[in-house]
Amino acid sequence: MSYASGEVLITEEELQNRVRELGEQISHDYEGERIIAICVLKGAVVFMSDLIRTLTVDTMIDFMAVSSYGASTKSTGVVRILKDLDSNIEGENVLIVEDIIDSGLTLKYLKDYLKARKPKSVRICTLLDKPERRSTDIVPDYIGFSVENRFIVGYGLDYNQLYRNLPYISCLEEVKA
Ligand code: IMP
Ligand code: MG
């Protein structure tokens, strides 16, 4: 079985408009403060680069790469840190920027991991949310779009590392050989 990008769920224009709205809301909420936006690699890289250009508060950026522990496709809740932050976040406002929250296990682990470094605050901004799939009590502070439980690609999200470059969000579709 092979796969291809199928039905478009969120167009490029819808994405850009919503990202601008999120940026306005975040800029408003942190007025007079500064933030460190932390991109969770690789999926959030496209969203992050658009989002930070809409922010009007002082913004620093940093990157983390994580993977679920082990070879199992099921998230275990234990996350391996592949790349840690370069910056010291003590006393800073941390904004974790994620592509999608599914079970929530990755972000739950990450939030607790970063909180241990004594930042002033930690919030989560996710472009996409699959609330149906949640298995933790994690609640994102900023959500771009809620989506149904289908596998989606584009705008940073991949299937086997492909489709991250699409400027829109679409469903992954099976292609009959
Ligand atoms: P969680 O720990 O189950 O919340 O895992 C979230 C991670 O799974 C995201 O950061 C994505 O990398 C990946 N993921 C979940 N759903 C999708 C999807 O529909 N398309 C692409 N990646 C997904
Ligand atoms: Mg991800």
Query: Does ligand 1 lie within 6 Å of residue 157's CB atom?
Result: yes
pLDDT of residue 74: 57
The domain spans of the chain are 2-175
pLDDT of residue 40: 97
Probe target for ligand 1 pocket from 134, 157, 170, 172, with the most ligand atoms within 8 Å of CB = 157
pTM score, whole prediction:
0.94
Residue 22 has pLDDT above 80, yes or no: yes
Q: From the candidates 58, 102, 129, 141, give the one annotated as an active-site residue.
A: 102
Instruction: Give the pLDDT confidence of 33-81 residue by residue, as tens digits.
Output: 999 999 999 999 999 999 999 999 999 999 999 987 655 555 667 789 9
Query: Does ligand 1 lie within 6 Å of residue 172's CB atom?
Result: no
What would you report as the CA-atom Rg of the chain, rounded to the nearest whole angstrom? 16
Class of the domain covering 2-175: alpha beta
Instruction: Give the pLDDT confidence of 92-121 residue by residue, as tens digits.
Output: 999 999 999 999 999 999 999 999 999 999
pLDDT of residue 44: 98
% of the chain beyond a pLDDT of 90: 84
Please state, in angstroms and as integers, the Cα–Cα distance from residue 126 to each residue in 2, 55, 75, 90, 91, following that order.
Answer: 29, 15, 18, 23, 23
- 22 membership: H or E segment, kind and range: helix 12-29
Contacts within 8 Å (CB) and 24+ apart, 23-26 = 23/51, 23/53, 23/54, 23/55, 23/56, 24/54, 25/142, 26/51, 26/55, 26/57, 26/95, 26/125, 26/142
Whether residue 86 lies in the annotated active site: no
What is the distance in A from the centroid of ligand 1 to the CA of 66? 12
